[in-house]
Amino acid sequence: DAALAGARAAAAGPVRPRQVLCLDQEVLDRDVPPATATGVRRLTKLLGAETALLGLDFLVGGEDWWFAGLTAVPALRPGGDLLVNRLLHALETP
């Protein structure tokens, strides 16, 4: 992906890709730094995606997180039971 490659080129040192799941402005990954989680929620609001499931791609190197893109079709498996429960609740809520 071009965005990921560009972010990798901008990051100094070794990095690893990481996709953060966000459902209805709730960041579902508990180990995301608070500042990054705040940025994720702010971005979803700016995009008008407050009631959406998004995957936000980052490159992580040490304590640094670089935004590398987003998708409306994220990988669901890493969300585990928490994501399944949130999706079921969303489907049951009128």
| Mean pLDDT along residues 62-78 | 90
**Residue-averaged pLDDT of the chain:** 87
CA angle 53, 54, 58 (to 5 degrees): 155
The span from the CA of 86 to the CA of 67, in Å, is 25
pLDDT value, residue 32? 95
- pLDDT tens string 1-45: 666 666 666 666 788 999 999 998 899 988 999 999 999 999 999
CATH number at residue 55: 3.30.470.20
The structural domain count of the chain equals 1
The span from the CA of 51 to the CA of 90, in Å, is 10
Signed CA dihedral, 17, 22, 25, 31: sign only: negative
Instruction: Residue 74: give the domain boundaries.
Output: 2-92
pTM: 0.81
